[in-house]
Amino acid sequence: MASLSRVAEIVRRHDPDRFFCTLFAPAPKREALFTLYAFNHELARAREVTSEPMMALIRLQWWREVVDGARRRHDVAGPLGEALDAGALHAPDLEAMIEGREADPPETAEEWREYISGTAGTLAVAAGRALGAGAVPALRELGAAYGAAGVLRNAALAQAPHPFAADLAQSGRAWLAAGAKAGVPRPALAAALPAVLACRDLRRAVPVRERGVGDKLAVIIAAARGRVSSVGCGSAPHPTRLLPPA
């Protein structure tokens, strides 16, 4: 752990699920994923650290300027600029992530679905591209499934039931089944692995605060098998079909 970069440390602390899944990516691709996930954490914080919508938009605009070419000394902005300059990350993906965060806070079930697809789903697609897999449509569904499960898990841990819990649980299972059925190319597998944890979270009666051995073992098995499955998540079972490299 002492050899981790600053962005990897940020992800390990604030996004441990994606940190663990990134360990199954090819070593040369991991730093780009850590940078992407650290960037996602900063975007999420833009609204969390202020109650003023305008201040949140100003923070997001600061990140848009980095994506557009501004190079700034910052724990995340610095590595992000380097990854963009090296072609390890792609500006359109990052701009789409910012747009997802710029949307007004969701108030209806449909808005929640759109928000989750535009944030967690868009992030998973960007992760697949950072892994060199190109655009993988199934990753949007798998990423959205993880996003839906995460929203419900956080609400349950906070003992604040989500007003659209049933709808988001159903949507999460549907996204998971659709993404698993569509197929994921092997180079994109690390971007799809968080969906393994989504499946486990969606079928739990009581949420877990810390990941246990069972959760981590499920990810390890999925990585070894080269597939994510929706079996046991409350929807029709569809193990992922690995597509041949493009």
Q: What angle do CA 169, 171, 177 make, to 5 degrees?
A: 105
Cα gap 183→93, rounded to integer Å: 21
What is the per-residue pLDDT across 44-95, written as a single tens digit (0 to 9) for each?
A: 999 888 778 899 999 999 999 999 999 999 999 999 999 999 999 999 999 9
Percent of all residues in the chain with a pLDDT value above 90, rounded to a whole number: 85
User: How would residue 2 be classed by pLDDT, with cut points 50, 70 and 90?
Assistant: low
pLDDT one-digit tens code per residue, 16-57: 999 999 999 999 999 999 999 999 999 999 988 877 889 999
pTM metric for this prediction: 0.92
pLDDT digits (tens, 9 = 90+) for 172-215: 999 999 999 998 999 999 999 999 999 999 999 889 999 999 99
DSSP labels, 55-80: HHHHHHHHHHHHHTT----STTHHHH
Whether 238 shows a pLDDT value over 70: the answer reads no
Which pLDDT value is given to residue 14?
A: 97
